[in-house]
Structure 1
Amino acid sequence: MLLLVLELAGTAVFAASGALAAVRARLDVFGVVVLGMTTALGGGVIRDVLLDVSPPTTLRDWRYLLVPAITSLAVFWYHPQVARLRRAVLLADAAGLGLFTTAGTTTALALGAPVYTACLIGMTTGIGGGALRDVLLREIPMVLRKEIYALAALAGAAVVALGDRLQLPAGPVSVVGSALVITIRVLALWRRWHAPVARGLDG
């Protein structure tokens, strides 16, 4: 039940992020819903493909489709109000990253994946939807730019995997892992932390 709640919450948050990006790109209502759902569900679908779960979980439970669809429509109709909440949207995106990463790692571990594989799958679950969103909008995916994004997800996934190895309660460990991802992401935005990029490219 906890895993379902985490995934649905993350789905709603990422759907809002994708839908808002679609509105800014001046897509129509269908495009907004498609991009919102792709952002919300893309990471989970990639996770299930990597774990050989067929059909993917998001295509077997109507709630995974309904939540991002409704969220995307809400953003389409109320996007001026949502756009004014820029900081809230960034915080929500950080929360979605944390929730999806821990949920993906937990799922991978439950299906018997090795620790290092579970960490990578958890990270991919967190960043996959956003990467697909950026590709569809013909942008360089944020995860490939200098922002601290994937590293935050990997840190949270490592916490969940470590907790599993130590046989700690899954619920509190997931909360701690999500909190770590959110904290790193928010601090990176606040302090303007960036991963290094190659120098000497201006000439």
Structure 2
Amino acid sequence: MTTAEALDYASVFVFGLTGGLAASRAQLDPVGFLFLAVITAVGGGTARDVILDRQPVFWVGEPANILVACAAGLICFVWAPRLESRRRALDWLDAVALASAVGAGITAARWEGAGVIVTVLMGVMTGCLGGILRDVVCNEQPMVLRRGELYVTAAAAGAAAGAATMELGGGIGPASILCGLVAFGLRAGSLRFGWRLPEYRSRPPRS
């Protein structure tokens, strides 16, 4: 199993868990759990592979990814009611999923020979799109749009760190690890310590 495949499986499982937690918050039936787990788990990677023209798309070539996502959804169907705060669990699991998915995105882009800019963008897309689909389907404000929170910023910083490492001659493995640490560290800091970006503040028009 390659580094890219391992990262895809890891991100699929953890993002599947976040989809299951979102389904529990929406009080869906088991099929709803499976649906949300799968679209959350494979959404970002699917868009990445289509744009990079990778054949086949990762979960078509490795259908076990769908089974992993379904297993994550069913785990949440049993486990989620025991959680004291599903919102907080969702936030932290999503941070882990973001870190692993961004690493999977830059690794896949590098294998396809993409340049630095495309590699960073593929990392951000792989990390963010699945969560956006999950939140939109559940009629919740997407995490990427929460005011001031570090989400896309965390993904972009992690992807940039990983891409720069590979560009400077570092291996894919160390680059993926650094990418994940940077992305998770910034996202965790935002959740735990309230790290924020400056917010836009409108001013009254000049008379």
TM-score w.r.t. the length of structure 2 is 0.90
Identity of aligned residues (%): 38
One-letter code aligned to 1:60:
G
| Cα offset, 1:152, TM superposition | 0.3
Change (3 A) 1:121 1:133: same
Equivalent positions of 1:4-153 (< 5 A) are: 4-82=5-83, 84=85, 89-146=90-147, 147-153=149-155
Q: Which residue type is aligned with residue 5 of structure 1?
A: A
Shift of the alpha carbon at 1:200? Answer: 4.8
Tell me the distance in 1 between the aligned counterparts of 2:84 and 2:22: 10
CA distance in 2, matches of 1:4, 1:88: 26
When residues 8 and 87 of structure 1 are mapped into structure 2, their CA distance, relative to the original with a 3 A threshold, is same
Structure 2 Cα separation of the partners of residues 121 and 170 of structure 1: 15
List, as ranges, runs of 4+ consecutive aligned residues in structure 1 with deviation greater than 4 Å: 82-89
- Pairwise CA distance, 1:30: 0.5
SS of residue matched to 1:78: helix
Q: Which residue of 1 aligns with 2:163?
A: 161
Amino acid at match of 1:96: A
Distance 1:183 1:85 in 2: 21
Q: Letter of the 2:81 partner, please give it.
A: P
Residue 173 of structure 1 deviates from its aligned partner by 1.7
Letter in 1 for 2:151: Y
Instruction: Give the letter for the 2:193 counterpart.
Output: R
1:2 to partner: Cα distance: 2.5
What does residue 194 of structure 1 align with? 196
* Worse-matched range after superposition: 158-167 or 74-83: 74-83
**Alpha-carbon separation, structure 2, partners of 1:46 and 1:83:** 34
Deviates more, 1:127-136 or 1:144-153: 144-153
Work out whether residues 75 and 82 of structure 1, in 8 Å CA contact, stay in contact via their aligned partners in 2. no
Cα distance in 2, alignment partners of residues 85 and 155 from structure 1: 27
Partner Cα distance (2:107, 2:15) in 1: 19
Describe the shift of the 1:15–1:53 C-alpha distance in structure 2 as closer, same or farther (beyond 3 A).
same
Q: Which runs of 5+ in 1 are unaligned?
A: none
Structure 1 length-normalised TM: 0.91
**Structure 1 residues 164-173 or 122-131, which shifts more?**
164-173
Aligned partners of 1:186 and 1:14: how far apart in 2? 16
SS of residue in 1 equivalent to 2:155 = helix
Could you tell which deviates more after superposition, 46-55 or 115-124? 46-55
RMSD: 1.8
Query: Quick check: 1:122–1:157 contact (8 Å CA) kept in 2?
Result: yes
Contact 1:15/1:72, CA 8 A, preserved across alignment: yes
When structure 1 is superposed on structure 2, of 64-73 and 189-198 the one drifting more is 189-198
8 A contact 1:20–1:83 mirrored in 2: no
| Paired positions, count | 201
